[in-house]
A = this chain, B = another copy of it.
């Protein structure tokens, strides 16, 4: 009876409002029709779970499962999930326990509302209109929140000229889908667009499509809301002023002095205020009154108060509105006012708010609503309005209207670059690939993670503080690295630190270096303020030693946009170490690169944008950047994050964009006459095919809705590559978009063999997808393909003589030697060739050749240094020898080489 242990990434959490996690299984181990799952906690107590199969091995056995556990007042340190063999069943069935809380999803007879009952709260989701959540009701019958909706503010000019150029929008629902529903967890997806808030107002068309996913768990009073928008505006006319999520809080049942506000401060800090405060007054209402008010408990009956206070409550101001505004990553301000015609009063602010806000009554309760990564995603805000009225209002601003409008226009006007030749010449100096009209944000997306806590009563300070901690780092259950490794469900090109002999000098040094690189980039995120609405999660590409700054303003050297696969580096490093901080950084990167750097609608849909000053500014739109492989790790580890699931499917059609936007348009010789032919497209066998093959193979293992089509294309392309005279060395082949078949390039109709090599081909996931295909598909299908791939692996870093002997030509001087050492290592491992293994390490260490473009060599200092105070705006550390290209490749190669060929004891 196979079983897997899971534990909390960051230790036992204060709260457990339900959790979902992914589990990997060995190939051939579990038959989906003869397996069910159960769960025991650390004390051996049966825990009900809801199971879903995320992926299958090629043989049809279960590869990844997703399991949900309900909310619990007493979360345990860990859980053990058991796969039980049964005669006949559906593995996805839930395992329930007698009397355990059950989630119920139902619809009223008019089908106008979806009702979700968690056993703790009842939530009504209208299926049309502009209200997203009609109400949230506790089991006690209290309505703690109502009329949940989105708010969008925009204006037509970068600087407001007239109120008639300002627009206000509401969330208009197009479709509500019950994506998942079971006894433990439900996922409700609400899709729509932002429509003008004014009836019959045609001053602005509906825009900014949204997908909201609500996650509800049995026995939980928390709603997790994943909020995704896609920018479909005109960057020259649509300047977003505010993006918010708003709820009404019924307050009519509560007296003003029993209404409470809680606002998150720094690292668990809490502002506790009553709408009508009775502490600090000239007269004392009594210690019981003051104490109750501060804690948020109902104050004693008014008759018991000191009459010196109770008789004068009419003279004590009540505070209608509160705002916390985080306009930079370093500071927030807080203020309140008695009414909109009176001035604000400043409340002492601070540095970085945790991002949670509560409004409610001591007896009536209310909602706490918060945004994960609140200050990292500045400019953000938390608002309360109308707290003196019967319907208070909470707004969480994902983009604060107190900030200046969001300007997404291009950062330069093209500098008179008109012809492709001029653009290529400019590329030679700023490394930016510019082209008029292509640097558009049309189609990029952003996903925010919001938490809504329904609270029966005002939370005390400790409770609110721990809820804020919850949203800062929502608790995650994970199996160990060792478990994942053993199943090979995320490949076998990495292995856990514990399996490495850290006493051996090579491993030990490499592990120290890997730790340095991670720690350094983590420090750079913080010191360089790589934060902001669009920016957070990404890292930068290259460093300017002269100015002691990353090249945030130099064309192609600024935002990294997954160049050379830093996403893979971080995920492999997480797999190797199991470290929480690595997971969080990789998660933030995945949420960024998957959304912001990729087009989700429009002409470029499915493509990503090359590294640049703005995430969308470069004209080079490429499949390599939207590579599904970069999302795969997070997808499975998170138990199948639904938004990332969407992203994985979106890129299945990336190949169609080649018809619209020829990647070779600036450089091909026949650019004047070239017309894309959907049956004979030029396709890079490195970056493009790797991206397509990743998308296909993930769709196949997920058994997605298009998996048969994906499998057909994948197999056709594998066969085609295997049949090319020079395999991957051909570099660019002809691709049939209809069926995925690959044939020799136009200039080699007879398949005599083209020799063309790019140092970038294997650096965007080609290695991983090839290894995965060879691992997963049966040998007859892959034998020629494997041969082609092993040839590429062996010859890329081979000698000129070897290259000439096989291909008739030398490959010439190639860069990224260190990053390619893993290809040699792969060939060594696959072929059991110790000479190749030795050579792989030599290449990794750049023993035979060392240029800065090859990797980190023997004279790499592996330290960072503080920058002199006056040479930078803030206290900084720098490592002027670091580049993100080299870091990503060093990280990946180090992890993979150690796993593939281990210590080379002869060295």
Q: In whole angstroms, what is the CA distance A350 to B161 when docked?
A: 31
Q: Does A344 contact B (CB under 8 A)?
A: yes
A554 and B269 contact, Cβ closer than 8 Å, known pairs A293-B546, A331-B330, A350-B873: no
> Can you name the residue of chain B whose Cβ is closest to the Cβ of A338?
B412
> Can you name the residue of chain B whose Cβ is closest to the Cβ of A353?
B873
Q: List A610-665 residues whose CB lies under 8 Å from chain B.
A: 613-614
Which of A130-138, A219-227, A427-435, A737-745 has 4 or more CB atoms under 8 Å from chain B?
A427-435
A553 and B873 contact, Cβ closer than 8 Å, known pairs A337-B411, A338-B412: no
Q: Does A347 contact B (CB under 8 A)?
A: yes
Verify A315–B269 contact, CB threshold 8 A: no
Q: Does A308 contact B (CB under 8 A)?
A: yes
Q: In whole angstroms, what is the CA distance A525 to B428 when docked?
A: 53
> Can you name the residue of chain B whose Cβ is closest to the Cβ of A164?
B162
Residue of B291, B343, B344, B348 touching A873 (CB-CB under 8 A): B348
Interface string of A452-473 (1 = CB under 8 A from B): 0000000001101100000000
> Can you name the residue of chain B whose Cβ is closest to the Cβ of A544?
B280
Verify A410–B342 contact, CB threshold 8 A: yes
Q: Does A870 contact B (CB under 8 A)?
A: yes
Q: In whole angstroms, what is the CA distance A554 to B283 when docked?
A: 12
Residue of B162, B283, B426, B429 touching A428 (CB-CB under 8 A): B283
Q: List A527-558 residues whose CB lies under 8 Å from chain B.
A: 527-530, 532, 535, 542-547, 549, 551-557
A873 and B546 contact, Cβ closer than 8 Å, known pairs A281-B554, A554-B281: no
User: What residues of chain B lie closer than 8 Å to A351, measured between beta carbons?
Assistant: 330-331, 351, 874
Residue of B163, B339, B416, B871 touching A161 (CB-CB under 8 A): B163
Q: List A280-316 residues whose CB lies under 8 Å from chain B.
A: 280-283, 290-291, 293-294, 308-309, 312, 314-316
Which of A93-101, A116-124, A271-279, A483-491 has 4 or more CB atoms under 8 Å from chain B?
A271-279
User: What residues of chain B lie closer than 8 Å to A871, measured between beta carbons?
Assistant: 270, 272, 461
Residue of B328, B348, B556 touching A331 (CB-CB under 8 A): B328
Verify B554–A265 contact, CB threshold 8 A: no
User: What residues of chain B lie closer than 8 Å to A426, measured between beta carbons?
Assistant: 312, 315
Verify A349–B529 contact, CB threshold 8 A: yes
Q: Does A704 contact B (CB under 8 A)?
A: no
Verify A281–B430 contact, CB threshold 8 A: yes
A291 and B546 contact, Cβ closer than 8 Å, known pairs A163-B162, A328-B328: yes
Q: Does A841 contact B (CB under 8 A)?
A: no
Verify A465–B869 contact, CB threshold 8 A: yes
A547 and B317 contact, Cβ closer than 8 Å, known pairs A329-B349, A348-B552, A410-B342: no
Q: Does A404 contact B (CB under 8 A)?
A: yes
Q: Does A425 contact B (CB under 8 A)?
A: yes
User: What residues of chain B lie closer than 8 Å to A429, measured between beta carbons?
Assistant: 281-283, 308-309, 312, 315-316
Chain B nearest CB from A764 CB (Å) reads 21
User: What residues of chain B lie closer than 8 Å to A528, measured between beta carbons?
Assistant: 348
> Can you name the residue of chain B whose Cβ is closest to the Cβ of A340?
B158
Q: In whole angstroms, what is the CA distance A154 to B839 when docked?
A: 71
Residue of B280, B290, B549, B553 touching A336 (CB-CB under 8 A): B553
Verify A407–B344 contact, CB threshold 8 A: yes
A613 and B345 contact, Cβ closer than 8 Å, known pairs A312-B426, A413-B338, A425-B315: yes
Verify B333–A328 contact, CB threshold 8 A: yes
Chain B nearest CB from A563 CB (Å) reads 14
Verify B343–A549 contact, CB threshold 8 A: no
Chain B nearest CB from A468 CB (Å) reads 9
Q: In whole angstroms, what is the CA distance A542 to B312 when docked?
A: 21
Residue of B162, B279, B413, B552 touching A546 (CB-CB under 8 A): B279
Q: In whole angstroms, what is the CA distance A311 to B549 when docked?
A: 25
Verify A345–B874 contact, CB threshold 8 A: no
Verify A529–B869 contact, CB threshold 8 A: no
Verify B314–A280 contact, CB threshold 8 A: no
Q: In whole angstroms, what is the CA distance A543 to B348 when docked?
A: 14
User: What residues of chain B lie closer than 8 Å to A334, measured between beta carbons?
Assistant: 873
Q: Does A408 contact B (CB under 8 A)?
A: yes
Q: List A336-373 residues whose CB lies under 8 Å from chain B.
A: 336-339, 341-351
Q: In whole angstroms, what is the CA distance A164 to B319 when docked?
A: 32
Chain B nearest CB from A470 CB (Å) reads 13
Residue with the highest number of chain B CB atoms closer than 10 Å, among A329, A344, A346: A346
Q: List A470-510 residues whose CB lies under 8 Å from chain B.
A: none
User: What residues of chain B lie closer than 8 Å to A348, measured between beta carbons?
Assistant: 527-530, 549, 552, 873-874
Interface string of A405-429 (1 = CB under 8 A from B): 0011111110111000010011111
Q: List A429-457 residues whose CB lies under 8 Å from chain B.
A: 429-431
User: What residues of chain B lie closer than 8 Å to A336, measured between beta carbons?
Assistant: 553
Q: In whole angstroms, what is the CA distance A260 to B279 when docked?
A: 54
Verify B263–A873 contact, CB threshold 8 A: yes
Residue of B350, B412, B430, B874 touching A266 (CB-CB under 8 A): B874
Q: Does A13 contact B (CB under 8 A)?
A: no
Q: Does A753 contact B (CB under 8 A)?
A: no
User: What residues of chain B lie closer than 8 Å to A309, measured between beta carbons?
Assistant: 429
Chain B nearest CB from A418 CB (Å) reads 12
Q: Does A750 contact B (CB under 8 A)?
A: no
A343 and B614 contact, Cβ closer than 8 Å, known pairs A327-B328, A402-B404: yes
Verify B411–A338 contact, CB threshold 8 A: yes
A345 and B870 contact, Cβ closer than 8 Å, known pairs A280-B546, A328-B333, A330-B351: no
Residue of B315, B346, B554 touching A430 (CB-CB under 8 A): B315
User: What residues of chain B lie closer than 8 Å to A282, measured between beta carbons?
Assistant: 427-431, 555-557
User: What residues of chain B lie closer than 8 Å to A809, measured between beta carbons?
Assistant: none
User: What residues of chain B lie closer than 8 Å to A557, measured between beta carbons?
Assistant: 280, 282
Q: Does A746 contact B (CB under 8 A)?
A: no
Q: In whole angstroms, what is the CA distance A607 to B281 when docked?
A: 26
Q: In whole angstroms, what is the CA distance A407 to B267 when docked?
A: 31
Verify B872–A343 contact, CB threshold 8 A: no
Verify B267–A869 contact, CB threshold 8 A: yes
User: What residues of chain B lie closer than 8 Å to A830, measured between beta carbons?
Assistant: none
A265 and B872 contact, Cβ closer than 8 Å, known pairs A282-B430, A350-B529, A552-B345: yes
Q: Can you list 28 A-B contacts (CB < 8 A)?
A: A265-B873, A270-B873, A271-B873, A272-B871, A280-B551, A282-B429, A282-B431, A314-B416, A315-B430, A327-B328, A331-B331, A331-B351, A336-B553, A338-B412, A338-B413, A339-B412, A341-B409, A342-B409, A342-B410, A342-B412, A343-B410, A345-B613, A346-B552, A348-B549, A348-B552, A348-B873, A462-B870, A465-B869
4 nearest CB pairs, A to B: A330-B331, A331-B331, A265-B873, A280-B544
Q: Which positions in A face B, CB cutoff 8 Å?
A: 160-163, 263, 265-273, 277, 279-283, 290-291, 293-294, 308-309, 312, 314-317, 319, 327-334, 336-339, 341-351, 402, 404, 407-413, 415-417, 422, 425-431, 461-462, 464-465, 527-530, 532, 535, 542-547, 549, 551-557, 613-614, 868-875
Given A162-B163, A350-B529, A461-B871: 16 more A-B contacts, CB < 8 Å: A160-B160, A269-B870, A270-B872, A277-B547, A281-B431, A314-B416, A315-B422, A317-B430, A330-B330, A330-B331, A338-B411, A341-B409, A342-B411, A347-B552, A348-B552, A350-B874
